Amino acid sequence: MRRPRSRKSTNSNLGQPRCGQPLQNKVQLKGRDLLTLKDFTGEEIKYMLWLSADLKFRIKQKGEYLPLLQGKALSMIFEKRSTRTRLSTETGFALLGGHPCFLTTQDIHLGVNESLTDTARVLSSMTDAVLARVYKQSDLDILAKEASIPIVNGLSDLYHPIQILADYLTLQEHYGSLKGLTLSWIGDGNNILHSIMMSAAKFGMHLQAATPKRLEVQNQGAGRVILFLKPLGKDPSMSLRTSGGPRYLLIPSLGMIILREYKNLLFKGKAKFSGQEAHEGYEPDPSVIKLAERYAKENSTKLSLTNDPLEAARGGNVLITDTWISMGQEEEKKMRLQAFQGYQITMKTAKVAASDWTFLHCLPRKPEEVDDEVFYSPRSLVFPEAENRKWTIMAIMVSLLTDYSPQLQKPKF
């Protein structure tokens, strides 16, 4: 866990609290980076949710004006487009008196026109925090290392922590507590699932995840890579040239498979390959699985990984899915749609879930992922979930930039 760096203190004078006496709080997050929830304890994550509930109650319900971020500026780096992340961050930061600065790839091109180190130092001199929505988690790691201000992960290829905080706040509001809930993930083993795996057990929640079978890569010597797709029972492999050749593998039964994430590795011509380096598929990252298994053991929760959507849904309180085709994966659409056949969440899926089941999706949603009957049903929490992106990102900024403590009674988690 990265140690918090020493930064300038900000105290907000709010006058007398109107929601009861301030509760003693031992959690201090000021100055920290939020790159992944694996860097935070259960109590620290609960604190961020508590603060979210506090701000939502005081501002939305009581109509209070809380200029907690007055005089603060936020750099927003967006390599990927977004509706909810941009809107929640801009409106939330401004509502607290701060000034958000939105930067697209037209304004800033990380590591291209200027090194990540130089970018981090420049932004540190002009703003108080950075929220970055990027392709590579490694870019966030470099920004955090070089910056003297908090860096917040707005989404990366590996994690999406701010989305999961909104999900948990939504579930706490609905169920009254998170402990003992069973989360049923049905979809891609992506950054959303990774963030759930890094945090659910810390609340005492169980996780059952179904993803399509992994496409495994094995080394057959320099210049040749063999891919095995389970459970086909046949070897659907072909050779790949590592220099001057096509950047894809054609399997007749599946169509074209684009090896986007590993094309630099695969096509150097002298690279050595291993199954772990060339992991390409739909199951969670092996290193994330290993750590999630440790969390489950430490917190006496259950972690189940399967390729059967109904098995993952069985007994689940919360049915969760996400897009099957993330930004940057458009060329894989045909192959992915075929691989995810049978993964659509429908009322048939819900029939095997718990009687109090609910549904979450971080949006935007495609009908093949979940049908209208589930998506627009009274059990669907997707729109409160979307709104809670605003309250949780506000809480993150307040916790990282100020000494404010919640005035609301701590919710039950």
395 closest CA partner among 34, 13, 2: 34
As a whole number of angstroms, the distance between CA 231 and CA 54 comes to: 49
**Strand residue runs (E) in 134-236:** 151-155, 182-186, 206-210, 215-219, 225-229
As a whole number of angstroms, the distance between CA 271 and CA 276 comes to: 14
Q: Does the active-site annotation cover 19?
A: no
Q: Helix 161-175 vs helix 382-401: angle between axes, to the nearest 10 degrees?
A: 120
SS3 251: strand
The one catalytic residue among 362, 374, 382, 386:
362
Is 151:140 a contact under the CB 8 Å cutoff?
yes
Provide the token pair at 20. 């009861």
Question: Helix, strand, coil shares of the chain as percentages rounded to 5?
Answer: 35, 15, 50
Place of tokens 């994966």: 329
Q: What phi and psi, each to the nearest 5 degrees, are found at residue 61?
A: -80, -45
Q: Which residues are catalytic?
A: 362
